[in-house]
């Protein structure tokens, strides 16, 4: 086909596409119009001839202007590429987009806070492999005398199973504007989409979150706290990609998953009024955004947003909550933060290298994972390992695990009591030395009361040399005098399944002593064995020798 058979021009100057699929460059469009304009008499459906006003002006091979009344519409432009068209005296502009990258890449364009639709360019319109061009097309960037979102465009490539990429055009110019979107097989995203879609146990608590990732008793702050449930860290990575893939119907922080990008700007604020929602839309003169985190909903000094439209606010501008109507003022500093694609960060296959501000539950991280808090400081988890006693029968086997002594028993004098327990509302068990870092965050201790019995006591936390316990009565015969023995029972329970274990921070090997007993209707001989909590956790399998 030729351009003459695929386009028409009516008496009002409307240049319209009448073909069935062929596309043409802006230069070809201009040459065709000029060819018509020198005809002695208009014929057919192309009503231009020597008596007509000049239909177009060429500034470069990639930039033409349509003179009034000549114009193209959005449909016609879907079949023109390789440059810009300006019409209506500059009130309407279509700018050219060229993607240099691999062939077959599916491109999405975010404009004015939403995906452009229809996406007529999809996976390779007007490609030129010899020039390394995967796509060429045009997008309207000015309409009725106003730029559309400052002519800002964000191109994304988010094909599940491939690497993701993003490229921003901060304001299109006449001619061709370059995207550089690439993709390749993501070897850490090999699970089929239908399987990943079912991993709904992976959840997030949105907003400003305090997490002590490095276990130093000082919280860091993030804009999320993801719970990866029972899934491996790389499966978690795949789920994050699924939530934000092309075609996603998910919503994150009130934003369509297709356009969710994470934090783009950190903003210092002051002079607050009202109470913000923890997550909500925001606006200011010249732009809009979505609030992803705020360090105080009533008295914020910092907020973190994803910019949606326009430009980031500047010093002194008032920011208003779209739902709450609360306000605050920009206090000098606005910091643009780097975007990761995908928004989670990167996966090594066995560890996450997180993006800025992206938080995951502390116990869901390992020593190999790295996250970056809202101060952009890298944080790493201690080496949490799990020790397992297996080969158990639920409801029958009683298990206790303690530190091994020099013989073949639990070291019952692992600690001594620093203070006497004899009150009616005791809440703390104090020992003379620092509690080891490989002690479970919550668990049980055994305290020798004055009758000689080792009482099982649950603790809810520990710090320094203090185990915190629920308020309990130690008066009377249940008292424990300072100097009595005390030891950590790392596992201490009636089995509820085939395994019993504990998780703690590994710093060095600890030799343990494991005891399993079942004196019920199908009794076994007491199983006792040393074992080691080590760099891979460790464990032991109980040997069930009948004692019938």
**Which value, in Å, is the radius of gyration of the alpha carbons in the chain?**
34
Q: Is the pLDDT of residue 60 over 90?
A: yes
Cis peptide before 72 (omega within 30 of 0): no
Cα–Cα distance for residue pair 18/358, rounded to 1 Å? 50
Q: Give the pLDDT of residue 363.
A: 87
Interval 183-203: pLDDT, tens: 999 999 999 999 999 999 999
The two tokens of residue 315 are: 């010093």
Domain range list for the chain = 3-179, 193-258+341-380, 265-336, 385-541
Q: In what order do the strands lie in the sheet with 500-505?
A: 500-505, 384-390, 539-541
Cα–Cα distance for residue pair 187/162, rounded to 1 Å? 8
The DSSP bridge pattern shows strands 378-380 and 370-372 to be antiparallel
Find the helix or strand (DSSP H, E) in which 195 lies: helix 193-196
Can you tell me the mean pLDDT for 258-262? 98
The DSSP secondary structure of 316-363, one letter per residue, reads: T-EEEETTT--EEEEEEEEEE-PPPSSTTEEE-SS-EEEEET--B-GG
Q: Around Cβ 434, how many Cβ atoms within 10 Å?
A: 10
Interval 416-430: pLDDT, tens: 999 999 999 999 999
Q: Is the pLDDT of residue 1 over 80?
A: no
Report CA-CA distances (Å) from 375 to 171, 341, 356, 371, 396: 30, 20, 9, 11, 51
Cα–Cα distance for residue pair 270/243, rounded to 1 Å? 34
More confident residue, 270 or 363: 270
Q: Is the pLDDT of residue 293 over 90?
A: yes
- The pTM (predicted TM-score) of the whole model is 0.84
3 state DSSP class of 83: coil
Interval 123-155: pLDDT, tens: 999 999 999 999 999 999 999 999 999 999 999
Can you tell me the mean pLDDT for 407-415? 97
Report CA-CA distances (Å) from 48 to 12, 262, 307, 373, 432: 10, 52, 46, 64, 99
Interval 491-531: pLDDT, tens: 999 999 999 999 999 999 999 999 999 999 899 999 999 99
For 149: left if phi > 0, alpha if psi spans -120 to 50, otherwise beta; the answer is left
Backbone angles phi, psi at 126, to 5 degrees: 60, 40
Q: In what order do the strands lie in the sheet with 485-489?
A: 415-416, 485-489, 443-448, 454-463, 466-472, 426-430
Q: Is the pLDDT of residue 210 over 80?
A: yes
Interval 175-185: pLDDT, tens: 999 999 999 99
- Judged on CB neighbours under 10 Å (0-12, 13-18, 19+), 285 is exposed
């Amino acid at each position: 086909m030729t351009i003459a058979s695929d386009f028409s021009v009516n008496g009002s100057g409307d240049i319209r596409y009448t073909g069935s699929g062929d596309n043409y460059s802006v230069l070809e469009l201009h040459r065709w119009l000029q060819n018509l304009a020198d005809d002695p008499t208009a014929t057919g459906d192309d009503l231009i001839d020597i008596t007509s006003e000049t239909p177009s002006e060429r500034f470069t091979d990639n930039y033409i202007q349509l003179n009034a009344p000549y114009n193209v519409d959005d449909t016609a432009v879907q079949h023109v590429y390789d440059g810009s068209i300006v019409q209506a005296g500059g009130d309407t502009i279509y700018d050219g987009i060229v993607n240099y990258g691999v062939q077959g890449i599916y491109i999405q364009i975010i404009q004015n806070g939403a995906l452009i639709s229809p996406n007529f360019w999809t996976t390779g319109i007007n490609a030129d492999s010899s020039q390394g061009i995967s796509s060429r097309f045009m997008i309207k960037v000015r309409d009725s005398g106003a730029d559309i979102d400052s002519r800002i465009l964000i191109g994304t490539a988010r094909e599940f199973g491939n690497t993701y990429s993003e490229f921003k055009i901060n304001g299109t110019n006449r001619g061709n504007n370059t995207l550089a979107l690439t993709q390749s097989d993501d070897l850490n995203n090999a699970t089929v989409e239908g399987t990943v879609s079912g991993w709904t146990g992976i959840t997030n608590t949105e907003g400003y979150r305090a997490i002590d990732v490095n276990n130093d008793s000082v919280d860091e702050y993030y804009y999320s706290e993801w719970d990866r449930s029972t899934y491996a860290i790389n499966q978690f990575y795949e789920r994050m990609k699924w939530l934000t893939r092309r075609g996603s119907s998910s919503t994150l922080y009130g934003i369509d998953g297709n356009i969710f990008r994470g934090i783009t700007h950190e903003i210092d604020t002051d002079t607050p009024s009202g109470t913000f929602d923890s997550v909500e839309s925001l606006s200011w003169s010249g732009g809009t955004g979505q609030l992803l985190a705020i360090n105080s909903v009533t008295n914020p000094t910092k907020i973190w947003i994803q910019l949606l439209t326009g430009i980031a606010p500047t010093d002194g501008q008032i920011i208003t909550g779209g739902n709450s109507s609360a306000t605050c003022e920009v206090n000098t500093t606005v910091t643009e933060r780097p975007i990761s694609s995908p928004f989670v960060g990167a996966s090594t296959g066995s560890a996450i290298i997180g993006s800025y501000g992206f938080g995951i539950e502390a116990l869901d991280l390992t020593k190999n994972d790295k996250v970056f808090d809202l101060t952009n400081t890298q944080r790493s988890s201690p080496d949490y390992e799990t020790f397992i006693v297996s080969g158990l029968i639920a409801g029958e086997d009683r298990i206790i695990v303690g530190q091994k002594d020099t013989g073949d028993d639990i070291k019952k004098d692992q600690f001594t009591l620093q203070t006497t327990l004899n009150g009616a509302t005791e809440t703390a068990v104090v020992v003379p030395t620092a509690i080891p870092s490989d002690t479970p965050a919550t668990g049980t201790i055994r305290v020798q009361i004055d009758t000689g019995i080792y009482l099982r006591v649950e603790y809810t936390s520990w710090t320094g040399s203090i185990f915190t316990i629920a308020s309990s009565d130690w008066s009377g015969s249940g008292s424990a005098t300072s100097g009595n023995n005390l030891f950590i029972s790392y596992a201490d329970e009636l089995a509820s399944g085939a395994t019993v274990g504990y998780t703690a921070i590994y710093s060095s090997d600890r030799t343990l002593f494991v005891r399993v007993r079942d004196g019920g209707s199908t009794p076994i001989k007491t199983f006792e064995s040393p074992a080691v909590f080590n760099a891979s956790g460790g464990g032991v399998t109980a040997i069930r020798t009948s004692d019938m």
